[in-house]
C-alpha cells in the first residue's frame, strides 16, 4: 500500500538495511496490543503471507474468508486480501486472543513483522525506515533489522518483496497508460456513433482491469501452494505465467 507522505513526516530521517541496528525493540509487546486495533484494511497480504497463513498452518484462504479473518479490498487499483477486524468497539484483529496476544504469531504477515518499520521503495529495490508516530511503546531498544523481521532466508524474501511490489506497480501503470491512449483516440461518425465508441472503449478498459484483477487473485492467492516445495520457486513460475498472460 503506497502512502502519499514525506519521509520527514513519518520517520527519523534514516534508511536502514537488514544488518543495521534500529530502535524497534518493544519487550515482546508486553502488556500492549495497540497496533492490533483499528488498522482498517492496512494489513495487506502478499502471496508469501497467504502461504504462511494457509499452507504452513494447514488452512485455506477460502476458509479464512468464510471465517471473516481475511477480506478482499482494492489497494492501489488491485483487489488484494487483508486481515479483517472484528466487529465491535475495539476493532481488533480477528487473530487477537482474549489476553491481547496474537494467535498466529509464528505465521504473522510481513507488515506485522515489520512494524514499526516500513519499506521505502526506490530504483527497483527498497530500504527500511522507522515510523516514529506509530508504536505506543516507549523506551524501545536497539535490535538488528533482520532479527526483528524474523523471516528465514531474508535475502530471498527481500528480492521477492521487490519483485512483487514492482510487478503490481508496473502492470498498473502499463494498464493505465493503455487505457488513456485508447480513450484519447478520436472517434468518427455521427455524435451518436461517437458516443457508442466511447462507451465501448471504456468497457474494454474496464474489462482488462477486471481480467487482471481476477488473474492475480486466482494465480497468486486462491490457487493453493505446495508446502513440500520451495515457495519462491512456485511464486516465480506463477509470476512468469502472469507476465505472459498480461502482455
* pLDDT the model gives residue 137: 73
Would you state the cell numbers that stand for residue 116, as one nine-digit string?
514499526
* pLDDT the model gives residue 247: 77
> Quick one: which of 108, 55, 50, 46 has its CA closest to 78?
46
* pLDDT the model gives residue 2: 64
* pTM of the entire predicted model: 0.90
Domain membership of residue 77 as a residue range = 7-151
125 bridge partner residues: 122
Would you state the cell numbers that stand for residue 108, as one nine-digit string?
504473522
Q: Is position 2 within any domain?
A: no
Q: Is position 225 within any domain?
A: yes
**Rounded distance between C-alpha atoms, residue 159 and residue 167, angstroms:** 12
Q: Decide which of 151, 173, 207 is a domain's last residue.
A: 151
The tens digit of pLDDT for each residue in 198-209 reads 888 888 888 888
Which residues, including other chains, have CB under 8 Å from residue 7's CB and lie 6 or more apart? 13, 120, 129
* pLDDT the model gives residue 30: 80
Count of structural domains within the chain? 2
**Beta carbons within 10 angstroms of residue 223's beta carbon:** 12
Q: Over the range 117-141, which residues count as b (16 or more CB within 10 Å of their CB) and which as e?
A: bbbeeeeeebbbbbeeeebebeeee
Same domain, 118 and 23: yes
**Rounded distance between C-alpha atoms, residue 97 and residue 77, angstroms:** 33
Same domain, 172 and 146: no
Q: Which residues of the chain have pLDDT under 50?
A: none
Amino acid at each position: 500500500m503506497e502512502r502519499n507522505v514525506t519521509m520527514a513526516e513519518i520517520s527519523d530521517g534514516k534508511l536502514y538495511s537488514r544488518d543495521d541496528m534500529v530502535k524497534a525493540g518493544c519487550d515482546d509487546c508486553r502488556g500492549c496490543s495497540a497496533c492490533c486495533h483499528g488498522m482498517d484494511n492496512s494489513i495487506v497480504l502478499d502471496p508469501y503471507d497467504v502461504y504462511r497463513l494457509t499452507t504452513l498452518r494447514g488452512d485455506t484462504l477460502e476458509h479464512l474468508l468464510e471465517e471473516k479473518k481475511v477480506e478482499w479490498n482494492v489497494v492501489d487499483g488491485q483487489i488484494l486480501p487483508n486481515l479483517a477486524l472484528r466487529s465491535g468497539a475495539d476493532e481488533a484483529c480477528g487473530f487477537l486472543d482474549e489476553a491481547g496476544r496474537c494467535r498466529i504469531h509464528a505465521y504473522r504477515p510481513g507488515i506485522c513483522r515489520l512494524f514499526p518499520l516500513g519499506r521505502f521503495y526506490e530504483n527497483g529495490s527498497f530500504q527500511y525506515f522507522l515510523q516514529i508516530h506509530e508504536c505506543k511503546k516507549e523506551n524501545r531498544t536497539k535490535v538488528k533489522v533482520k532479527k526483528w523481521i524474523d523471516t528465514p532466508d531474508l535475502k530471498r524474501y527481500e528480492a521477492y518483496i521487490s519483485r512483487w511490489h514492482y510487478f503490481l506497480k508496473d502492470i498498473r501503470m502499463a494498464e493505465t497508460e493503455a487505457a488513456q491512449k485508447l480513450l484519447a483516440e478520436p472517434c468518427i461518425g455521427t455524435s451518436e456513433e461517437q458516443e457508442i465508441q466511447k462507451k465501448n472503449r471504456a468497457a474494454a478498459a474496464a474489462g482488462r482491469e477486471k481480467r487482471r484483477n481476477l488473474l492475480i487473485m486466482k494465480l497468486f492467492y486462491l490457487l493453493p501452494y505446495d508446502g513440500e516445495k520451495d515457495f519462491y520457486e512456485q511464486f516465480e513460475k506463477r509470476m512468469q505465467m502472469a507476465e505472459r498472460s498480461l502482455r
